[in-house]
Structures are given as C-alpha cells and as structure tokens.
Amino acid sequence: MALFRASLFLLIYIALLSSLCFAEDPYVSYDFKVSYITIAPLGVPQRVIAVNGKFPGPLVDATTNYNVAVNVHNQLDENLLMTWSGIQMRRNSWQDGVLGTNCPIHPKRNFTYNFQVKDQIGSFYYFPSLNFQRASGGFGPIIINNRKVIAIPFAQPDGDIVIMIGDWYTLNHTSLPPQMIHGKLRATLNGISFVNPETPIRLADLHKVKGAYKLDFPKKPLGRTPQMDRSVINATYRGFVEVILQNNDTRMQSFHVDGYAFYVVGMDFGIWTESNRNNYNKWDAISRSTIEVHPGGWTAVLISLDNVGVWNMRMENLDRWYLGQETYMRIINPEENGETEMAPPNNTLYCGALQSLATDVPDSSAMALLSWNSNLFLTLVVTILACLVLH
C-alpha cells in the first residue's frame, strides 16, 4: 500500500513537472481602442477617456503565468501610454508604460504590449500614465486568477465583481491641472522634482546615448535649494533598498513602485529616526506595490532588488506625481547574459535622441526577508514635500 502511494505520488509529480516544463503558457489577447466619449457620471455631460467605448475600461482577465497581449490603439488627439499598476513585468520593464521606460504612442498609432503575468495573483488595474489623463478615465481592472494547481485559502468564489473607487472631477484632464496647481509650484522627493528624460532610460543605455539622465538621486534630503532634474537611483542588482518616506506635506500620500512588491516594515507618526529600525517588522511584513504615508508621519519599506530594469517610483496622488514627485530605480545585472533582462521587443517605439530609429506606421484600425549586508544596502530617506522650484 505504501509502495503504491509512493509510486502514485511520483506519477503525479512527474505529470505536474512535465506540464510545468513543456507546455507553453496560454495566451490571452485584447484590443484596446482608446478614445473620447461624452457621458455624465456626475450628471454633467463631459468628455471622458474610454477603452472600447467603455468607462471604466474592459476587464483584463488572466491566470497567473499567462502571456497577455494588449494592442492599444490611440484614438485620442494626444500621446498615450498605458501602465499596468502592480503587474511586476519580471525582467521586462519595456512593457511598463511610463515615460522613463517607454516612448509615447502617438495619436492614430497603436502599440502592442506583450507581457507575462508571472507568479502573482490578485486584482490590479491599468491606466493611462501621461499627464493628467487618469483623471479623465482610460482605466480598467485586471484580475489574475490562481492556477488550479495552486490552492487558494478559501472556497472558489462564485464570481468576481470589480469595484473601482477613485476621485472624479467634472473638469477634464486638460482643464484640471491649472485649477489644482498654481504657478510654478513643483513637488519634490529629496529636493528633486523629476523631469522625464527625452530618451527612455534603458533605451538610452542600450544605444549609448550620453547624458539622457543622471544616476545621482540623493540618498537623503540635502537641505539645498530644490531643483528640477533627471536624477535616477543607482540601485544594485540583488541588493536591498530601504526607503523611509517622511511626509512633510499636509495630505495623505500614496507611494508606489513599479516592477516590485515591497515589504512594509514600519509606519508611525512623527519623525523617523534610526532607532525606529529596532521595531521594524522583519517577520511577516505585508508585501505590496502601493502604501500610504500619513501627513506628519513616516512609512518604511524594504525592496529586494531581484527584477532587472528601470522602475518608476512615485507618489500615486495624481497632482503630486504630475508636479515631479517621482524618480526611477535603475537595476542592472553587471553580468547580464540575456537571462535576467529581456531584450527590447521588436515593436519598440523610439523617440528623443533615438527618433531616427522610429518607424512610424499609422494604425490600420486608426481609426526570509533580510540579510543586512551593508554593501548591498542602500538607504533612502525620502522627504515628500510640495515646494517652490525656481528656474
């Protein structure tokens, strides 16, 4: 009997292994036509950004390890990038859809995002990342289901109902910023108000474009005059970064990192000091891609830098992000051999110093949490401030 069980187990194990190793992961594909429609969510007719005529946009329904292809057709009269908040894009920052890693999709053009939703399950969302577009819509839900072979700790739900909650304004994304933002106000992280590079960071590296950005994001507030710059974090592959967010602003802020789930190890009111490290939760800290930072308080997160690429780090609050409260982490494997970072896809868009490489084809439808190795440890004390930058 025991023998029989053992061999049955072996059989199942082999069957599982072979399905893991040899079957190609399934594909799902979507066409997203992004256009303006007029509707009245608050009773006032207004122009909103719709996906396939819908607001919010359609559900991207995938199962972990699926390959997802989304062909985004820009039917707006402005540039567009779609970002996939919380999707880790393992080894593949080419698909992240933010200006530091991707050139924008011009009006009447399309771009197909190809990515694998790997080793993660849950609810996520996509949204247009440029300017204030998210305030006019263009967003929608993403569900990544568990594979049958991986159990979930609750009964299989009878169905999913997606609820999207957010601020809504009767002003559209072109009228809103002048109302919310006065004059030359900019917002900073460590005294830097980020300016997007003309040439996306990793493309600049691969094509040896000099001076597209700087690797000098300060590790702590320097107390100098705030400035506008293209300062990026020089992070070490397989190292750790500890980010302490001190919110000196008067409102709740949400901190987000692309490409990763980080561990939230501490959060309190007051000013963070080194002694707060003694109380960090190093055992069962929650892992997520967005966390709140209370006004007059701090939040500490730890990130294990295992995903090569260039990843946006930002305040998710739209006005603060727009005003420069973001930067990027550049994580390069010095021994890259094509295995820890994917090559740029064959449909890569080019711009800035690489504009001459662009083949602008109109859209046919155009229409154990920690090892405290100090060599691998980068501590960032980030002060979130809104302040005036003079240029």
* Dihedral angle over CA of 342, 118, 14, 340, nearest 10: 30
- Residue 67 contacts ligand NAG per CB under 6 A: no
As to burial, measured by CB atoms within 10 angstroms (0-12 exposed, 13-18 middle, 19+ buried), residue 67 is middle
For residue 16, give the H/E element and its range: helix 2-22
Distances from the Cα of 272 to the Cαs of 241, 278, 339, in angstroms? 16, 12, 39
Give the C-alpha separation, 148 to 123, whole Å: 17
- Residue 175 contacts ligand NAG per CB under 6 A: yes
Give the length of the chain: 391
- Residue 379 contacts ligand NAG per CB under 6 A: no
Q: Give the shortest CB-376-to-ligand NAG separation in angstroms.
A: 9
In sequence order, the β-bridge partners of residue 245 are: 299, 382
Among positions 202-261, residues that touch ligand NAG (CB under 6 A) are: 215, 221, 234, 236, 248
Among positions 39-58, residues that touch ligand NAG (CB under 6 A) are: 47
Count of CB atoms within 10 A of residue 322's CB?
22
Greatest C-alpha distance within the chain: 80
- State which residue, 18 or 365, has the beta carbon closest to ligand NAG: 365
Q: Give the shortest CB-305-to-ligand NAG separation in angstroms.
A: 10
Side chain identity at residue 20, one-letter code: L
Q: Give the shortest CB-277-to-ligand NAG separation in angstroms.
A: 19
Select from 271, 286, 343, 358 the one that contacts ligand NAG (CB under 6 A): 271
- Residue 290 contacts ligand NAG per CB under 6 A: no
Binding mask 86-125 for ligand NAG (x = CB under 6 A): ------------------------xxx-x-----------
Q: For binding to ligand NAG (CB under 6 A), which residues are involved? A: 36, 47, 71, 110-112, 114, 172, 174-175, 215, 221, 234, 236, 248, 271, 345-347, 363-365, 383, 385
